[in-house]
Amino acid sequence: MRITILGGGPAGLYGALLMKRLDPSRQITLIERDGPDDTFGWGIVFSDQTFDYLRESDPPSYEAITAACEKWDNVDVVHRGERITVRGNCFSGIARIRFLRVLQDRCREVGVDLQFHHPVTDLTTLPPHDLLVGADGANSLVRRVHERLFEPTLDYGRNKYIWLGTPKLFHGLTLTFVEHPTGVYAAHSYKFDKHTSTFIVECSESTWRTAALGEMPPARTAAFLEEVFHDHLDGHPLLTKNFVKWLNFPLVRNRRWHGERIVLLGDALHTAHFSIGSGTKLALEDAIMLARAFGTESDAAAALPLFEASRRPRVEQYQQAAMDSLKWFEEMADYVHLGPLPFALEAMTRSKRVDVEKLRQRDPEFVAAWERSAGLGKE
Ligand SMILES: Cc1cc2nc3c(=O)[nH]c(=O)nc-3n(C[C@H](O)[C@H](O)[C@H](O)COP(=O)(O)OP(=O)(O)OC[C@H]3O[C@@H](n4cnc5c(N)ncnc54)[C@H](O)[C@@H]3O)c2cc1C
């Protein structure tokens, strides 16, 4: 079986690795626009559950990835200068480039043909194949060319966001809220190696306009945001990389997931707002489920519907949670009048996947403190 995969992000690389590993006779070619060392963004974050899947699917990459991760169990919500720590939330951060290199190395080891520096503008130029996998990200060419087949919907979040880095090390997933004269800003930050943290800033479009952020070059944007988050950066700078710009988060969905010999994976198929930190996890799980479907059914005509049937319900659950979380950040200005504890509770329950009882299991002290502050504590 000849498989061509467009896109060398997490979905494409892990899909190539697992499909080849399960059947070495498959000829797998992965085509990627950028070079092996180019990557957008800084670090990515995973929950512990993701690691269970990675361990089962390919132990060598699991070992290499976990060895390179920074781990923590706290989410910190910082509001009005007060830090509320909520424990029992086990996550790990890793540099995106490090993560991709592990997968690239494993692909080479098992014999995937990796072709970098190869931007594709015309799908008819792809090598002959029995299966085409569109793992080419949120702006997928495969999806656009086959729009009638997939029937995608593409919406955009209302907030503006920008993905920055900083040498300030944030231990734990830290959500910092600042009420600035131009509006409310939120930063999502976490360390992903010994020297750097991801620092994603988001704000409403009206805040963005009031601050004239659309007109600022990257260096001035970083300087402006350093001033906004001055009290939280301890004098560390904000770092820009490649072509950094303000974006609206794209919400991708597809009515159909596959044709007879064509399928989408990862962000090409579905996106989930970064505030629930699940985009890469979903991309990897897609790859796992696609490989499993081909383990059960060797023929694409049977394997692809099996992939969709086994995967769609889970993806839709995550997309709903991500949508609720995205909306909460769009409405964050409505919550900032709350004191730090009730505000932290609102932030922790925003995706509606976690309620007070779940939080109590994770961190009884936090819930007890919140109950006392709300007058609900035991006498
Ligand atoms: C601000 C932000 C923060 C995020 N934070 C997290 C996080 O903390 N944790 C998490 O799990 N996820 C996070 N994500 C989401 C995560 O980055 C994506 O969900 C994940 O990368 C999806 O993987 P993918 O392989 O489907 O797509 P991508 O990573 O986008 O990879 C697609 C690849 O296809 C290539 N490509 C595209 N078109 C072509 C073409 N025509 N020819 C050749 N190559 C092509 C691209 O160069 C790219 O390498 C975040 C996303 C954003 C925007």
Full residue range of the structural domain in which residue 26 is found: 2-40+94-155+250-330
Tell me, yes or no, whether 121 lies in a domain: yes
200 lines ligand 1 (CB under 6 A): yes
pLDDT at 278: 87
Nearest CA to ligand 1 atom 5: 274
Tell me, yes or no, whether 210 lies in a domain: no
Tell me, yes or no, whether 267 lies in a domain: yes
Q: Strand, coil or helix: what is 101?
A: helix
Q: Strand, coil or helix: what is 56?
A: helix
Nearest residue to 96 (alpha-carbon basis) of 29, 156, 163, 160: 163
Whole-angstrom distance, CA of residue 133 vs CA of residue 264: 6
The CATH number for 309's domain is 3.50.50.60
Residues of the chain with pLDDT under 50: 379
Tell me, yes or no, whether 378 lies in a domain: no
Q: What's the CA-to-centroid distance between 267 and ligand 1, angstroms?
A: 6
pLDDT at 379: 45
pLDDT at 253: 98
pLDDT at 244: 80
Sheet containing strand 2-6, edge to edge, reads 113-115, 27-31, 2-6, 131-134, 262-264
Cβ(8)–Cβ(32) below 8 Å: yes
Look at the chain and report how many structural domains it folds into: 1
pLDDT tens digits, one per residue of 229-247 = 999 999 999 998 766 899 9
DSSP 236: P
pLDDT at 140: 98
Whole-angstrom distance, CA of residue 321 vs CA of residue 318: 5
pLDDT at 243: 65
The pick from 280, 289, 319 for probing ligand 1's pocket by mutation, whose C-beta has the most ligand atoms within 8 angstroms, reads 280
Tell me, yes or no, whether 352 lies in a domain: no
The pick from 14, 30, 38, 44 for probing ligand 1's pocket by mutation, whose C-beta has the most ligand atoms within 8 angstroms, reads 44
DSSP H helical segments within the chain, as ranges? 10-22, 48-57, 59-67, 96-110, 141-145, 147-150, 205-210, 218-228, 230-233, 279-296, 300-330, 340-348, 356-362, 364-373
Nearest residue to 207 (alpha-carbon basis) of 228, 222, 188, 189: 228
Q: Residue 178 phi/psi, 5° resolution?
A: -130, 130
Which ligand 1 atom sits closest to the C-alpha of 39?
49
Tell me, yes or no, whether 279 lies in a domain: yes
pLDDT at 242: 63
340 lines ligand 1 (CB under 6 A): no
3 lines ligand 1 (CB under 6 A): no
120 lines ligand 1 (CB under 6 A): yes
Q: What one-character-per-residue DSSP string does 292-319 give?
A: HHHHH-SSHHHHHHHHHHHHHHHHHHHH
Q: What's the CA-to-centroid distance between 374 and ligand 1, angstroms?
A: 41
pLDDT at 128: 94
pLDDT at 287: 98
Nearest CA to ligand 1 atom 3: 274
Tell me, yes or no, whether 274 lies in a domain: yes
Tell me, yes or no, whether 239 lies in a domain: no
165 lines ligand 1 (CB under 6 A): no
Nearest CA to ligand 1 atom 31: 9
Nearest CA to ligand 1 atom 50: 274
Beta-bridge partners for 174: 76, 189
